[in-house]
Structure 1
Amino acid sequence: MKFRQKFGLPVLLGTVLTLGSLTSALAEVSEVAIAQQYGISYLPLMIMQENKLLEKETKAAGLGDVKVTWAKFAGGNVMNDALLSGDLQFASGGLGPFITLWAKTRNNIGVKAIGAMNSMPLLLNTNNPDIKSLKDFTEKDKIALPAVKVSIQAITLQMAAEKEFGAGQANRLDALTVTQSHPDGMLAMLGGGSPINSHFTAPPFQYVELEKPGMHTVLNSYDVTGGPHTFNVVWASTRFVTANPKTYAAFLRAFDSAIALINKDKQAAAEFYVKAAKTKESVAFIEKMLNDPNIEFTTTPKNSMKYAEFMQRIGMIKVKPSSWKEMFFPNVRNLPGS
């Protein structure tokens, strides 16, 4: 059963678009490219793609038959390059790559987040029984994560290292990290015969790993930030949004609709994910994950400033936002973010 058949017409959340000075363009784009990465955290975008929600919303807005293309990337750093080159209009990924691009483009194309996509804990798992804390890692250990130094996992590891080893020690474990997509990192660690014995990843991969004998968690990102934090956001450039306000508004409606579908029926969402991702995990396994109170699909940013402040303090970005709202478009600024 397809996700759209179970729900019928999607229930739209009441996103209030207050883009202020944005004016309607004489002609908006006829083609939009959207990128996502791997894992259940990208479920809203997967639903948008399957149900052609953006195509329906742009047509309803009088924009005609807008062509929507989708791409998958292993990490947010590569996605940022694609957005800067104009090959992408909407990018998605962890807070780290987004904040990096926000700071870099403040005075030109003005990349900002459309909204959060979820809040999820990120787990650093290992198959090495001798590793109980970050202090137990040695030069013989290798940690797979989506992108060395710039992914949200890499930055969270740096935040944790600073807490564990003291000021000036944020990069202490960087030399042990290896860039791998979530699926490849999991296979490398679980398959044996690889120097990678640890993996800082995301749902569902981290929970699949913990089902295997001999696996255990060394670090939970929620412990590093002192509570739930945004994992993924969706972003675009102010230049694009200004030139295409109707397309942007249509994206918001489609995105809100997809999140509403997930939150309305977790079982149907799990059934859809298992089929769409072609995962070997059962529907029950995925549904249990979606019902975990620590996992939430929401557009409200959480603890994003902790990442921005850390990144500015250690020199990853040159400027610190005055508040989380400076990094996001106006449509989410009325939410209780942080």
Structure 2
Amino acid sequence: MNAFKKFLVSTAVAVSVSVGLGGLAQAAELRIAGGVGILFAPIHVMKQAQLLEKHAKEMGQDLTLEMLSFPSGSAVTDALLSGNVDVVAAGLSNALLLWSRTNGDVKAVAAVSGTKSVLVSKDPDVKTLKDFKETSRISVSSLKVSNQAIYLQMALDKEFGDATKFDPMMVQLGFADGVQSMMNPQGPTDAIFAGPPYYQKLLKEPNMHAVLTTLDVAGPTTNLLAFTTTAYHDGNPEAIKVFLAALKEAQELINREPKKAAELYLASTKEKFTVDELAAMFAEEGNVFQSMPLGVHQTAAFMAKIGLIKDSPASWRDFFFADLQSTEGAAAAN
């Protein structure tokens, strides 16, 4: 079993293979590609508390969880489409890009989580989007297609009627590198659009302040989806049922007992937070831990509007498998 290592999934994906349906037996192991950070907390809670194994046993199945990491977004995409990983937990924009580029052969199984992201600036003159200068440099984890890049484009479209207005200002840096650049007085960037726990770290600095949050742009939304291929989904219906039950319990545990969930997460990831710090992050405004999607259709519609995906889905149901679509809460999902 591979050791789990930190990785950030790039949203710049390229799909060059098609997905077939032939010859899949029921799985004895569920291989999930994921990362670290609050968005991935339900997957880590599921792993550490052995919730997948628990629900498999209750359903008369023998199923274990393996977490895998990959060096890049293209690598994890290839692994999913070739059948070397079963489920990917990654950004909403990732899932929509794959759904579009595979003509629907990749869809979401469930929502995993959503957290607020914050556009942080260290320029004291920048209080709103209108205050950014041509010389400003804003970092995002992936140009154009990361969740934060999408939300920034949505904000620019609302404010200026031009989603591309800040393109010359954008710099691609992973969150950790982006924070380091912001902390360096001579760093090349003076703003970053980042998720937790990165924006919390920066906002503790006296010269940093928030300009915009994703709550201002889109409200509380799902940012992370669990998605898979039609081949795996249709070939392993019992594993999907077990996964959904285990994911729901993990999400409920985070909502109900954030300190216990924080202990499980930290035991899984070995990150350097205290239990109280992490539990407080779980409870922050705008965080969403539920399997039903929230606010995903507005993002999909915007990605279609600016040409990132080919077609605008009629609703969230178009890019999700049917498993959740007749269950409690489906009518309120969006």
- TM bracket (short chain): 0.7 to 0.9
Identity of aligned residues (%): 35
- Measure the CA separation in 1 of the matches of 2:31 and 2:167: 33
Deviations 1:242-293 (A, max 9, x none): 0111121121122112112212211222333445444444333322222234
Deviation for aligned residue 1:55: 4.0
Give the direction of change, closer, same or farther, for the CA distance of 1:138–1:321 in structure 2 (3 Å limit).
Answer: same
Secondary structure, counterpart of 1:97 in structure 2: helix
- Measure the CA separation in 1 of the matches of 2:81 and 2:159: 36
Other-structure match for 1:198: 191
- Measure the CA separation in 1 of the matches of 2:134 and 2:118: 21
TM-score, scaled to structure 1: 0.82
Check if 1:160 corresponds to 2:138. Answer: no
**Equivalent of 2:317, from 294, 313, 325?**
325
What RMSD, in angstroms, separates the aligned Cα atoms of the two structures?
Answer: 2.5
Pairing of 1:243-254 with structure 2 (within 5 A): 243-254=235-246
Deviation for aligned residue 1:297: 0.9
Check if 1:106 corresponds to 2:107. Answer: no
Secondary structure, counterpart of 2:123 in structure 1: coil
Which letter does structure 2 place at the counterpart of 1:306? Q
Secondary structure, counterpart of 2:192 in structure 1: strand
Other-structure match for 2:4: none
Other-structure match for 1:38: 36
Check if 1:298 corresponds to 2:290. Answer: yes
Pairing of 1:200-219 with structure 2 (within 5 A): 200-219=193-212
Pairing of 1:71-86 with structure 2 (within 5 A): 71=69, 79-86=76-83
**Equivalent of 2:221, from 229, 232, 243?**
229
Which letter does structure 2 place at the counterpart of 1:202? G
Secondary structure, counterpart of 1:155 in structure 2: helix
Other-structure match for 1:238: 230
Deviations 1:119-155 (A, max 9, x none): 3221111222122222333343322222111111111
- Measure the CA separation in 2 of the matches of 1:77 and 1:26: 24
Deviation for aligned residue 1:65: 5.8
Deviation for aligned residue 1:220: 0.9
- Measure the CA separation in 2 of the matches of 1:112 and 1:65: 22
Deviation for aligned residue 1:179: 2.8
**Equivalent of 2:115, from 120, 129, 132?**
120
Pairing of 1:243-282 with structure 2 (within 5 A): 243-282=235-274
Deviation for aligned residue 1:49: 2.3
Check if 1:138 corresponds to 2:129. Answer: no
Secondary structure, counterpart of 2:69 in structure 1: strand
Contact 1:126/1:199 (CA < 8 Å) preserved in 2?
A: yes
- Measure the CA separation in 2 of the matches of 1:318 and 1:116: 22
Contact 1:38/1:182 (CA < 8 Å) preserved in 2?
A: no
Other-structure match for 1:172: 165
Which letter does structure 2 place at the counterpart of 1:210? L
Which consecutive unaligned segments of at least 5 residues does structure 2 have?
1-20
Other-structure match for 1:19: none
Contact 1:134/1:218 (CA < 8 Å) preserved in 2?
A: yes
Contact 1:77/1:97 (CA < 8 Å) preserved in 2?
A: no
- Measure the CA separation in 2 of the matches of 1:145 and 1:43: 22
Secondary structure, counterpart of 1:196 in structure 2: coil
Other-structure match for 1:95: 92
